[in-house]
């Protein structure tokens, strides 16, 4: 189904107030993707993050 068919199915007949337009998807340039070129620095491991989250949940339970 295209967008017009979906609209018709959900909302019924379309008045002149609604217009379906298509958009052009822009392709990012290399300048827009500069942040991917830098290496990621992991400050917290997944396990440390999980433990911190579990501690916060426990503290929340104790406070309630």
Going residue by residue through the chain (64 aa), what tens digit of pLDDT does each one get? Answer: 788 788 778 887 766 776 777 776 666 666 666 666 666 666 888 899 999 999 999 999 998 7
Neighbouring residues of 33: CB distance < 8 A, sequence distance ≥ 6: none
Residue 61 CA to residue 59 CA, distance in Å, equals 5
Length of the chain: 64
Task: Record the pTM.
Answer: 0.35
CA distances 21 to 8, 30, 35, Å, are 15, 28, 32
Span between the terminal Cα atoms of the chain, in Å: 49
């Amino acid at each position: 189904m295209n967008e017009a068919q979906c609209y018709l199915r959900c909302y019924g007949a379309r008045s002149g107030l609604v217009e379906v337009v298509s958009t052009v998807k822009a392709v990012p340039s290399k300048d827009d993707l500069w942040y991917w070129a830098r290496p990621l620095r992991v400050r917290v491991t997944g396990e440390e993050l999980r433990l911190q989250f579990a501690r916060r949940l426990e503290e929340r339970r104790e406070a309630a």
